[in-house]
Structure 1
Amino acid sequence: MTNTILALIDGSAFSRPVLDLATWAATRNHAPVHLLHVLPPKSLPRVDLSGEIGLGARSTLLSQLSALDEQRASLAMLHGRALLDDAAAFLKAAGISRVTSQLRQGDLLESVAGQEAQAGLIVIGKRGQSADQARGHLGSNFDRIVRAAKLPVLMAPRQMREIRRATIAYDGSPSARRALERMIRLPAYRGLEIEIVRAGHGEDGEAPLAEAQAMLAQAGITATTRLLPGTPEEAILAHLQDSGSDFLIMGAYGHSRIRSLVVGSTTTAMLQKAQVPVLLVR
């Protein structure tokens, strides 16, 4: 599988953190970056032409609306291309030599799905252009991508900082194991201070931690473990803050029975409140 990083940009306040994360991942994994900006599908102007208005007037109005629609579409295309050009320039200035970009119009999920075969990771902002109106919530596009994407998804928070310490939330589930296996395969996580955590108590909680630690040790990666008191959501979020961790790695769905349709409630809650990048692996 290719290791190309698919970075989704939309011109929001989260576009810069997306580029910062893409730069980090591309540098440490020696990977190319493909930038994608998706414009919404074309839509016909919705105008109520009922009432007493002459045919000539209606035709003139429709013509004017059509021209306005075409002008808006043209400006959106120009704006999208400018966003991609600026993003590519940013990445190249940061030392990423292999950068490609694409401007598409249509459904976001379909556009991303068309790129998944050539990529190994999706980087997307936690929220989009309505970020200021949606503080504390996940953006609708982010939510759709996480639900549908087959690739690991790396969530960019609003503010980025240097990544030195990583926390792995490990519960022994298949998705958590796949997240661990991904860490082992890629060089990005080597050299970081890594701690594996789980909410629980007693031997039932310690066993998965020991398993994860042994898997990393076999790959030459040193990690510490910690069993956290409380519910997963509260315990892991508190740990991120108290430990100064810069990065969270976790399985996307835990033990949800409807994994293909919904993100687990614990996962969703942590994504909403986490202030660090989060790597989600299905």
Structure 2
Amino acid sequence: MSYVTACLDTSPFLPAVCDYVAWSCSKLAAPLMLLHVVDSPRYPGSVSLSGTAGLGGREHFLDELVRLDAQRSRVAREQGQILLESAATWLRKAGAPEAQLRLCEGSLPHVVKEQAAGTRLLVIGRQGEDSSEEDYVGSQLESVIRVCDRPILVVPENFSEPESVLLAYDGSDTARKALEWLLEGALCQGMRLHVLLVGNDSEVTRLHLDWARERIAQAGLQANVSARDGLAEHVLQAYIDEHDIDLLVMGAYGHSRIRRFLVGSTTTNMLHRTSLPLLLVR
């Protein structure tokens, strides 16, 4: 069974994540999973004391350290369970399906990767509970995007139901997969569809646009398919402003930082620039 999975924490983005996941479940008619990860390095269940051998007979001090670490870990798990149950109750009242609750320990990217096989869509806030006011993007978000091979909906702090969607299209396999996902799925059904290729007018550009128009026509849909030249981030943002776009869809960068440097710079820049929900497809 493939779930719409929501990554929940206590950041200010929690209400928007819940709103977007309720919207996603309604559109996709998919079951819901709520996921909270207790960060092991932050709340260790056990602590190594191998470096304290030189403290001599201060056994009481060492025992107290162990007790406090165990207590913090237990409290973090209890808080996580309360968070999941509270969110599930709110979502049920909002009309979302009964949620599966999953409380895990470890690092968020590692847990997301482990859960990916059962995920249809991952919904996550742009910032997490550990983000500072200076961070536009959370410290773990890009790592999650790199390891997760499922579509990821990165949401802003406030919810607004999308009515129009823009696919940033470059003719690549990833971009074509993103278009297929939009056409075959129900998430963007009923929304105004725009497909924009950033590049100069050339035979290759026209071939890419013709392929997109043909696939959209085969799906029985209509879309505004066009190309514009210029710096990708600036062209995309200008188009978003002109056409009142509510949701941006892009190909996600690959697994390594090298691949991200080569082909994912536009994705990274838009992740840091746009205030829209951003749907990333690998």
Shared fold (TM-score greater than 0.5)? Answer: yes
Residue 261 of structure 1 and its aligned partner are, at CA, apart by: 8.8
Q: SS in structure 1 opposite 2:63?
A: helix
Q: Which residue of 2 aligns with 1:178?
A: 177
Q: State the one-letter code of the partner of 2:93.
A: A
Query: TM-score, length-normalised on structure 1?
Result: 0.89
Query: Percent of pairs identical after alignment?
Result: 35
Q: Are 2:26 and 1:27 equivalent residues in the alignment?
A: yes
Displacement of 1:50 in angstroms is 7.8
Kindly report the root-mean-square deviation, in angstroms, between the aligned alpha carbons of the 2 structures. 2.4
Partners of 2:187 and 2:77 in 1: CA distance? 35
Does the 8 Å contact 1:169/1:248 carry over to 2?
yes
Determine the structure 1 residue equivalent to 2:129: 129
Give unpaired runs (5+ residues) of structure 1: none
Write out per-residue CA displacement over residues 49-90 of structure 1, whole angstroms, 9 at most, x where no aligned residue.
587x651xx111111121111221111111101110111112
Structure-1 residue corresponding to 2:47: 44
TM-score by length of 2: 0.89
- 1:247 equivalent to 2:247? Answer yes
Distance 1:172 1:257, change over 3 A: farther
Residues 157 and 275 of structure 1 are in contact (CA less than 8 Å); yes or no, is this contact kept in structure 2? yes
Query: How many residues are treated as equivalent by the alignment?
Result: 276
Gap regions ≥5 residues in structure 2: none
Q: Is the 8 A contact 2:88 2:98 kept in 1?
A: no
SS in 2 for 1:159: coil
Rate the CA distance shift 1:115–1:48 in 2: closer, same or farther, 3 A: closer
Counterpart Cα distance in 1 of 2:169 and 2:95: 34
Pair 228,65 (structure 1): closer, same or farther in 2 beyond 3 Å: same
Deviation at 1:36, TM superposition (A): 0.7
With over 3 angstroms needed to count, the CA separation of the structure-2 counterparts of 1:132 and 1:257, relative to structure 1, is: closer
C-alpha distance in 2 between matches for 1:28 and 1:71 = 42
124-133 or 62-71, larger mean C-alpha shift: 124-133
Q: Distance in 2 between matches of 1:18 and 1:94?
A: 13
Q: Aligned partners of 1:92 and 1:214: how far apart in 2?
A: 40
SS in 1 for 2:12: coil
Label 1:63 to 1:50 Cα distance change in 2 as closer, same or farther (>3 A): closer
How far, CA to CA, are the matches of 2:250 and 2:63 in structure 1?
53
